[in-house]
């Protein structure tokens, strides 16, 4: 059903409304940007903003996963590794070097990105289920190291991290500021990822996803590009991690958890793996669903209380939905994306836009060439 909805939606966009996706994203973004202005400063809004802030962070995290898995085809089931590294690197530098947040966060991102190299190398040699298991095991190893050196890392308690804006007294205003900060981070991340995905590098990533052997036959250094995919993905994942720590005042071991890794997977598959913008949009949808649809309204069917659902059930519901999604489209999850995501390259209006342009110039050149040979 969702497939039909999605197809109807995208053909609606291209045929009826004829809004290019860029404009739509702009609208969506403006809406997001306006929210704090519209909402009044109540306790509920503080909570609401908190949910949106989490959604912003998770949108960055999920889109980084989508880049690695949906575009470059490297199955990563332990993406929280980079998230955690970002959080802890930033927190550790903060604690031991006393540097302020706006310095430690870029350092956290740098460390996370560099970590992709030693992590990437074993991952390059293995494929499929082996890769999946290795990526699942890595955050566990990281957690183990964390607990072993508990004197430095705070063990299960984690490391305390200061807030972003300690000088703002009003909690509501603080949330608003944090909201805009994370939204800005998301905007920048999304733009960069989008640019990468639509560049030659992005095309090469997809070729690796489709057929590594064929890519090698085209002269692509597959190892280099796989590492690159890991590095870029790790960059944004660790950005998400180092941004989240000051929001919960803590760098906690939960930032390495399998559940966190799976949030990225749930969100991305929900939004359409490979699309990038799907991962971002779905982040908001999922968090909204999670916090509001499932928690607040009351719903009874045939005398049994369906809603609100106890929190414990939420992850279960989402995972089951993911399973249903994956099974119902046995052409493969990545195939599911062809209609939606990768049609960025072959969508009708792009054809008209770019096709005409290239074809015209090309025809002109050819004409000139034939004319000159006719004369000469």
Partner 1 sequence: MHMLEVENLTKRFGGLTAVNKVNFHINEGEIVGLIGPNGAGKTTLFHLLTGFLKPDSGTVKFRDEDVTGLEPHKLVNKGIARTFQVVRPFRHLPTIANVMVALECPRGRKKIEWLKTCERKALEMLEDVGLSEMMFEPAENLAHGDLKRLEIARALATEPDLLLLDEPFGGLSPIETEYLTKSIRRMHLDGHTMIIVEHKLHALMKLAKRVIVLHYGEKIAEGTPEEIAKNKKVIEVYMGKAM
Partner 2 sequence: MSLGDNALVDILLLETLLLYGAITGAVYALLALGFTLIYGVAEVVNMAHGALFMLGAYMFFAFSLAPKNPPLGIASPFALEPGLALIAAMIFVGIVGSIIYVLVINPVIKDVLASIVVTVALAIVLQQAVYIEFGGTHRPVLPFVSGSTIILGVTMTYTKLLAFGTSLILFAIIALFMWKAKIGKAMRATAQDREAAMLMGVNTTRICMLTMFISASLAALAGILIAGSTAQPANPQMWLTPLSMSFAIVILGGLGSIKGTFIGAFVVGYAENAVALLIPGGSFLKGAVALATMVAVLLIRPKGLFGKRIELEE
Residues 6 or more apart whose Cβ sits within 8 Å of residue 61? 79, 83, 236, 237, 240, 241, 263, 264
361 binds partner 1 (CB under 8 A): yes
Query: Closest separation between CB of residue 317 and partner 2, Å?
Result: 9
330 binding partner (options partner 1, partner 2, none; Cβ < 5 to 8 Å by kind): partner 2
Tell me if 15 contacts partner 1 by CB under 8 A: no
Dig out the tokens for 248 from the structure: 């919960």
Q: Is 219 in the site for partner 1 (CB under 8 A)?
A: yes
Q: C-beta of 351: minimal distance to partner 1 in Å?
A: 5
- DSSP SS3 for 303: coil
Collapsing DSSP to helix, strand or coil, 355 comes out as helix
Cβ of 99: how many Cβ atoms within 10 Å?
Answer: 14
Site for partner 1 in 173-212 (CB under 8 A): 199-200, 203-204, 206-207, 209-211
Of 33, 67, 47, 54, nearest in space to 274 by CA:
67
Which of partner 2, partner 1, none lies near 322, with the C-beta cut-off 5 to 8 A by kind?
Answer: partner 2
Q: Please choose which of partner 2, partner 1, none residue 364 contacts, taking the beta carbon within 5 to 8 angstroms, the exact cut-off set by kind.
A: none
Residue 334, interface with partner 1 (CB under 8 A)?
A: yes
301: which residues sit within 8 A by CB, 6+ positions away?
none
Q: H-type helices in 98-199, by residue range?
A: 101-125, 128-148, 150-153, 171-197
Other Cβ atoms within 10 Å of 208 Cβ, number? 20
Can you tell me which of 222, 285, 309, 326 binds partner 1, judged by CB under 8 A?
222
Task: Name the minimum Å distance from CB 325 to partner 1.
Answer: 19
Closest to 113 in 3D by CA, of 267, 238, 10, 208: 238
Nearer to partner 1, 94 or 276 (CB): 276
Residues at the interface with partner 2 (CB under 8 A): 69, 73, 75, 77, 122, 125-126, 128-130, 132-134, 136-137, 140-141, 144, 213, 258-259, 262, 265, 269, 312-313, 315-316, 319-320, 322-323, 326-327, 330-334
- Cis peptide, bond prior to residue 120, ω within 30 of zero: no
Binding site for partner 1 (CB under 8 A): 199-200, 203-204, 206-207, 209-211, 213-222, 334, 337-338, 342, 345-346, 350-351, 354-355, 358-359, 361-362
């Amino acid at each position: 059903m969702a497939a039909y909805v999605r197809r109807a939606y995208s053909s609606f966009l291209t045929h009826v409304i004829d809004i290019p996706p860029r404009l739509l994203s702009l609208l969506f973004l403006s809406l997001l940007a306006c929210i704090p202005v519209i909402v009044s400063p109540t306790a509920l809004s503080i909570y609401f903003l908190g949910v949106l802030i989490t959604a912003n962070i998770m949108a960055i995290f999920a889109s980084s996963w989508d880049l690695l898995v949906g575009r470059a085809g490297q199955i990563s089931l332990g993406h929280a590794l980079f998230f955690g590294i970002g959080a802890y690197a930033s927190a550790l530098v903060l604690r031991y070097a006393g540097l302020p947040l706006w310095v430690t966060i870029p350092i956290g991102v740098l460390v996370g990105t560099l970590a992709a190299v030693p992590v990437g190398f074993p991952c390059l040699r293995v494929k499929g289920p082996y890769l999946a298991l290795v990526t699942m095991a890595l955050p566990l190893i990281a957690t183990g190291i964390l607990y072993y050196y508990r004197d430095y890392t705070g063990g299960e308690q984690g490391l305390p991290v200061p807030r972003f804006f300690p000088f703002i007294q009003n909690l509501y205003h603080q949330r608003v500021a944090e909201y805009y900060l994370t939204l800005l981070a998301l905007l920048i991340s999304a733009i960069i990822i989008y640019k990468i995905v639509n560049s030659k590098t992005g095309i090469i990533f997809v070729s690796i996803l489709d057929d590594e052997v064929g890519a090698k036959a085209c002269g692509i250094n597959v190892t280099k590009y796989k590492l690159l995919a890991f590095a870029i993905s790790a960059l944004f994942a660790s950005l998400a991690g180092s941004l989240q720590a000051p929001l919960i005042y803590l760098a906690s071991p939960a930032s390495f958890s399998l559940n966190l890794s799976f949030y990225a997977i749930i969100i991305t598959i929900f939004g359409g793996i490979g699309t990038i913008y799907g991962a971002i949009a779905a982040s908001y949808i999922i968090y909204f669903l999670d916090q509001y649809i499932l928690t607040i309204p009351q719903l009874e069917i045939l005398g049994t209380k369906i809603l609100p659902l106890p929190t414990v059930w939420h992850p279960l519901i989402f995972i089951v939905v993911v399973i249903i999604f994956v099974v119902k489209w046995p052409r493969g999850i990545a195939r599911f994306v062809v209609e939606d995501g990768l049609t960025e390259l072959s969508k009708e209006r792009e054809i008209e836009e770019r096709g005409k342009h290239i074809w015209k110039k090309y025809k002109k050149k050819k004409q000139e060439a034939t004319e000159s040979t006719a004369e000469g």
